[in-house]
Each structure stands twice: as structure tokens, then as C-alpha cells.
Amino acid sequence: MTKNSSSSTTVPDTVWLARGCHPGPEPEQDVRRNLIALKAAGVLDDFLDLDPVEAARSTVLHPREESAGPGPSARRLFEARWRVADSIMVRAQLTTYEHETRRADNEGITWVLAAEAELAWNPRWPSPATMFWPDSDRIAWDHDLLPGVRLRAANYLPKDQSEMRRRLRDHSRNTWYIHVVVHEAMTPDAKGKQPVSAFLPPSLRHQVVEHRATPAQAQVADFAMKRELNVRMPRGGAVVLPTKPQSPHYDAEHFTVHSVFLDGSEPTELSDLIEEFANLPRPLPEGAEQALTQLRQGWHLLTPDEELAHAQGMVIKYAQALDAMTKTCDLYQEAAEAAHAALAEFTGGDGSPRPPVPGTAKTGSSPLNAIRKGLGRFRDPNK
């Protein structure tokens, strides 16, 4: 597995992360069907469908790391491996969890996806989300954990000002996504209602949440963002929202577009700014470090070369363990023989103590000391 040295508080440049909610009745079955189809088409090298408990027990790379497990609320663990740019390996894990807020109604699951490439991530590579989830609007796997928001849609801000401020505040804190607010200068037609993420490179399409403000919400949205995030909402424009904690590289004016034409054409200026923002160091959101640790330390889907190297490593470990056991047995046998010899000397070989010869007994060479010396090998780890 790739293990790039990086700060524990920022997302490594080799990593792609996402988290969401699937409200449908058969989420794991949707994943299985997609994985099977993509492997048959040659898109995936291979995949695994694992029970999370058994997966934690059979961890290949770091079997003693407790942090490698997905946690008690995990339902299923999927692993997939594919190549980008012909030779760059990508490994990814998708874990499904019970949705805490919906468990009583048995509606939907939470999912976490972590992918890592052998080199820095390129946004033009295929999205890891579509390796597990079907790239179709008919299956709504792309809901955010906060209600009423989806990845592949233009999500209109609430009409109530307090609710609007709450949404902006919640989505900027410990977020897994890039959030963009677009103001409609006038009500757009069907082409203008499609999300701007549709024009982004494949790997960015499922890392952006787009919020829309209606023409009548210009002042309200501007006031809410000024109060909550210290950014301004230009009329008919857009702004890429900062994260909390805010990156020192973020400049509100720089990441603001003053005019976005919602006529179905590509918003080039906004797309470029989103790509630029995606390249900035971003803090690891809550739960992401656990997902990344699980990916790196709890990986099972090895390549043939990795399986051979792993088998060779296990043979060496078993040989070392056997050698250590043999040496331990030899030490025990040697100590036992010394103890028996000393006991025989002490009893004269007939089981009864032999009386000491006057004037010949010495403390350093007594049979009792011989027994102590033999048994002392059990306590001395250096012998």
C-alpha cells in the first residue's frame, strides 16, 4: 500500500475521500452489481465483498492494529483495485454503516469511501464513487448526511433565514466536500438548473455540493454568508465556501465569481476556481483519518506479486518462530538434565539423601547449589 508522508491534519494529495447516505432498500446489492459489471468489463482489476468482522480478523498487512477495523456499526466492507493512466494503481474501500438517525425506520445506510493512488491524485481520473455506486440518477446513493442535500443536484437554500444560516454553518464545519453557492440572477430554464458539477472533471463531480439561491434570496444569502463565513454573495455570481477551520491559503475575493451564466454552457471561470480550491491543503474531516487508516492498514485485496511477497514474509516469520521455539526447547532440556544430574548427585542415585562427608563440603559446589544452577536457567533469559 502507498504510505505517503503527510500531515495527520490534512488530506494527502494521493487520497480521494467521500461520505454520504444511500436511502434505498438494497444499498449493498447496488454496490455488488456495479462491481461485478465493471470487473466483467475490464475496468476493475479485482474486488472483494467482505463481512466487516471477518475482515478485521483476517487483516493482511497489519493484523494486530486495532484501528484497522471498520467499527461495530459497520454492515459491509468492499474493496476494489483498478489502474489509471495505464499503470498507476488505485486502491479503494467502501464501508457501509447503520444510519444512526434512521435505524428505527430501517431507511438507508451511511457509507464512507476512501481511495488512494500510487501518485498524486489527478481530478481527470475516473471517480472512485462510480467504481462502487452506479453512475445513474435512478439510484440515489449520493445524499449527504445532512438532510435535503445531494451531490449530483443543485440544492436550493432554505427560505427561512435561520435555517439558511444553519445549513451554511453545518456544511462548512468538518465537511468532506467542496461547497459552492450559486445565485440565480433570474429563474433559469431546464438547462440552467443542471448543477455546475456536471462540467467538472470526473473525480471532482462527486466531491462538490452545489447550493443555489433564488433571485429573491440575493440579499438574504449575502447576509447569511457574511455572518457565518465572512464571504459575500455577488448577485448573479458564485462563491466557493471556506472550510472550518479555514485554510490560510483561502482568499474570499479570489474564490468569488461575479457573473455565472446559467444557460447550459460551461461556467469555465467557476470550474477553474473549484479545481484550484481542490488543490489547496484541506483539513481531514471528522472520521476521515479512521477511514484512511483502515484503507492503509486493513487492506486485503493483494496483487499476485503482493501475495507472493506476503507469503515469503510469512515463511520467514514462521521459520524464525520455529527456530526460537527449538532454542527454547533445547534450553529447557539442558536445564532439566542439569537438574536431574544434580539431584542424582544429591541423593546418590537411590532416591535417598546422601550424608555429607565431613570436611569436604563446600558452599559453592554443594548438590543443592547444582540444582539451583540448573533451575536458574529457566529464570535467566540470556542462557
3-state secondary structure of 116: strand
Contact by Cβ (8 Å): 68, 294: yes
Residues 160 and 91 in one domain: yes
Alpha-carbon span 272 to 149, nearest angstrom: 23
Same domain for 362 and 242:
no
- Is the per-residue pLDDT at 14 higher than 90? yes
| Domain extent for 37 | 15-297
Instruction: Measure the CA–CA gap between 135 and 140, rounded to whole angstroms.
Output: 10
Cβ proximity of 231 and 252 under 8 Å = yes
Within-domain flag for 67: yes
- 269-301 pLDDT, tens per residue? 999 999 999 999 988 998 999 999 999 999 999
Residues 183/218, Cβ–Cβ less than 8 Å: yes
User: Do 266 and 350 have their domain in common?
Assistant: no
Confidence of residue 123 (pLDDT cuts 50, 70, 90): very high
Write the DSSP symbol of residue 303: -
In a domain, 10, yes or no: no
Residue that terminates a domain, selected from 266, 297, 328: 297
Q: What's the pLDDT at 66?
A: 47
Q: Give residue 367's pLDDT band: very low, low, confident or very high (50, 70, 90).
A: low
Count how many domains the chain has: 2
Of the pLDDT bands very low, low, confident and very high (cuts 50, 70, 90), residue 67 is: very low
Q: Which residues pair with 238 in a beta bridge?
A: 182, 257
Cβ-count burial of 209 within 10 angstroms (0-12 exposed, 13-18 middle, 19+ buried)? buried
Residue ending a domain, choose from 297, 323, 349? 297
Q: Are residues 240 and 278 in the same domain?
A: yes
Q: Residue 33 corresponds to which amino acid?
A: R
Cα distance between residue 252 and residue 274, in whole Å: 13
> Among candidates 320, 336, 344, which has minimal Cα distance to 378?
336
Of 93, 49, 133, nearest to 298 (Cα)?
Answer: 93
Helices of type H across 143-244: 161-172, 190-193, 202-205, 218-229
What confidence tens digit (pLDDT) does each residue in 199-227 have?
Answer: 999 999 999 999 999 999 999 999 999 99
Q: Indicate whether 103 and 191 sit together in one domain.
A: yes
Q: Is the peptide bond before 245 cis (omega within 30 degrees of 0)?
A: yes
From 7-21, 95-109, 150-164, 207-221, the region with the lowest mean pLDDT: 95-109
Which grid cell sits at 34?
456495479
SS3 content of the chain, % helix, strand, coil (to 5): 40, 20, 45
Residue 364 has pLDDT above 60, yes or no: no
Q: Which residues contact 85 (CB under 8 A, 6 or more apart)?
A: 122, 125
